[in-house]
């Protein structure tokens, strides 16, 4: 039998809070939507950062979160579309551009790149 956890989601962009009950064998995003939460999403398969959150307290499991680097996961970021609760949780939605910049910003805006290696201007 699945454990059920309380998940509090603060939607920063809308200034809305949701508290939903999520079994540990169900995705948080889909279960929250089934309980009337209106949260950001796009791909629903862990490949983008539209549903990214920062975990404020609690634990979750996100084995399919290929859209987040291991470094960002260690910093407490998660993708709700592919996350399972492992305890009561409190999370906060993030701006997709902020998360994208944290993950990829070091690769852009630094001049020309050839095959992933920065090159000097001629």
Q: So where are the chain's domains?
A: 4-118
**Cα 85 to Cα 83: distance, rounded to the nearest angstrom:** 7
Q: Which two tokens stand for residue 60?
A: 């979750």
Q: What is the pLDDT of residue 114?
A: 55
Q: What is the pLDDT of residue 1?
A: 86
Closest Cα partner for 6 from 14, 16, 24, 15? 24
**What's the CATH number for 4-118?**
3.10.20.30
Confidence of residue 72 (pLDDT cuts 50, 70, 90): very high
Q: What is the pLDDT of residue 100?
A: 79
Q: Does position 21 have pLDDT exceeding 90, yes or no?
A: yes
Q: Which two tokens stand for residue 68?
A: 């987040």
């Amino acid at each position: 039998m699945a454990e059920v956890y309380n998940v509090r989601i603060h939607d920063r962009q809308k200034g809305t809070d949701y508290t939903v009950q999520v079994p540990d064998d169900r995705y948080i995003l889909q279960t929250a939507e089934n309980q009337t939460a209106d949260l950001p999403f796009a791909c629903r398969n862990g490949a983008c950062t539209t549903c990214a959150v920062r975990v404020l307290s609690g634990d979750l499991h996100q084995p399919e979160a290929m859209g987040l680097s291991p470094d960002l996961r260690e910093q407490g970021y998660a993708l709700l579309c592919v996350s399972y609760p492992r305890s009561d949780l409190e999370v906060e939605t993030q701006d997709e551009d902020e998360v994208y910049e944290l993950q990829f910003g070091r690769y852009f805006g630094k001049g020309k790149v050839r095959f992933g290696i920065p090159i000097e201007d001629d």
